[in-house]
Amino acid sequence: RESKGKMPRYPGLDRWILIEKMGDGAFSNVYRARDSTGQYGEAAIKVVRKFEMNSSQGDNVLHPDFKKAPKAAERANILKEVQIMRQLDHPNIVKLLDFSESRQYYFIVLELCPGGELFHQIVRLTYFSESLARHVIVQVAKALEYLHEQAGVVHRDIKPENLLFYPIPFIPTRNPKPKKPEDEDKADEGEFIKGVGAGGIGQIKIADFGLSKVIWDSQTMTPCGTVGYTAPEIVKDERYSKSVDMWALGCVLYTLLCGFPPFYDESIQTLTEKVARGQYTFLSPWWDDISKSAQDLVSHLLTVDPEQRYDIHQFLNHPWIREADEPTTAAA
């Protein structure tokens, strides 16, 4: 991780003191930052480089309009992401705190999820116990229920890299060290294990609305477009797009339970075919000790026909979700 001294400075972002880099992509960097005015405390800032500033691609002779053409589309995309996030208010969805831009960058200021990506926890723990997997997936599902049923939004990019979390502040060890006096009020190991099982994952938050889409108007509760003139395929399309999130939810649940994804192949073409056919297995020996009930739920999500696939209500009412053998304490 980068040290304080090497943090870049962005004109227009003077209010924020960048602390460390939390994520990076082709066009965006995400930093943990502290608000120098004290209004927000800490936050995550997604800094998105404006397209025309990308010097390595800026002189692309094959696309004379390369510098100009994609800019409007890119801007529209960023604004859509921000616009959608602005509407959302749910404990399991990352909150948008602020948005601004400079000549070269967009700055999306987000609620900080100090735990980072769920993805890294799967790598760290190899796989999750059924109760920890349930603790996680229920929270993702609650967020999807809100998005699908209340906000009229489909996320379309649900995956472990876009699921962030608040850690439980106490990581249990076999032989816990004696507590310092100032730590007396923190949870002890016993409490921690009763709460959520091993792993230290508290509250889960869905991030990255870069591919998300509004499917209906949450004000009028109608599909987007002119009321009464909406074609049946649009109404159906709305249902299909929700089912896209449910498929992804199934992929995440599968991965949590065994530690590897349901569909994988080194060849993209073969992988695409496997997905299209819904060709996956509960691979032995990894799935041998995972309950039949969990497998049943996964198979209702990884169903090729979107009409047959579980929707969010069916998911939340499945016995494996409802049988929750322990209280899911969401320590924020």
Q: Is 185 annotated as a binding residue?
A: no
What does the binding site for ligand ADP look like in residue numbers (CB under 6 A)?
A: 22-23, 25, 28, 30, 44, 46, 94, 110-113, 116-117, 161-162, 164, 207-208, 210
Tell me the C-alpha distance between 241 and 223, whole Å.
12
For 211, counting Cβ atoms within 10 Å of its Cβ (0-12 exposed, 13-18 middle, 19+ buried), the class is middle
Angstrom distances, CA of residue 118 to CA of 29, 132, 165, 208, 331: 18, 12, 7, 13, 16
Instruction: Choose the catalytic residue: 157, 183, 288, 296.
Output: 157
> Shortest Cβ distance from residue 28 to ligand ADP (Å)?
4
> Shortest Cβ distance from residue 194 to ligand ADP (Å)?
27
172 binds, among Mg ion, ligand ADP, none (CB under 5 to 8 A by kind): none
Residue 256 has phi, psi (to 5 degrees) of: -60, -45
Q: For residues 25 and 176, which CB has a smaller minimum distance to ligand ADP in the complex? A: 25
109 binds, among ligand ADP, Mg ion, none (CB under 5 to 8 A by kind): none
Q: Is 46 annotated as a binding residue?
A: yes
Q: Is 273 annotated as a binding residue?
A: no
Tell me the C-alpha distance between 331 and 18, whole Å.
26
Amino acid at position 178, single letter: P
Tell me the C-alpha distance between 51 and 72, whole Å.
10
Q: For residues 187 and 244, which CB has a smaller minimum distance to Mg ion in the complex? A: 244
190-229 residues in contact with Mg ion (CB under 5 A) are: 208
143-182 residues in contact with Mg ion (CB under 5 A) are: 162
Look up 157 and say whether it is catalytic.
Answer: yes
> Shortest Cβ distance from residue 31 to ligand ADP (Å)?
9
Segment (H or E) for 32: strand 28-35
Q: Is 117 annotated as a binding residue?
A: no
Segment (H or E) for 100: strand 96-101
Among 156, 170, 202, smallest CA distance to 328 is for: 202
Residue 20 has phi, psi (to 5 degrees) of: -155, 160
81 binds, among Mg ion, ligand ADP, none (CB under 5 to 8 A by kind): none
30 binds, among ligand ADP, Mg ion, none (CB under 5 to 8 A by kind): ligand ADP
> Shortest Cβ distance from residue 82 to ligand ADP (Å)?
12
Q: For residues 208 and 245, which CB has a smaller minimum distance to Mg ion in the complex? A: 208
* Residue found under tokens 């831009």: 101
Angstrom distances, CA of residue 19 to CA of 34, 37, 52, 116, 222: 7, 15, 27, 15, 44
246 binds, among Mg ion, ligand ADP, none (CB under 5 to 8 A by kind): none
Annotated binding site: 46, 161-162, 208
Q: Which amino acids are annotated catalytic?
A: 157
Residues forming the site for Mg ion (CB under 5 A): 162, 208
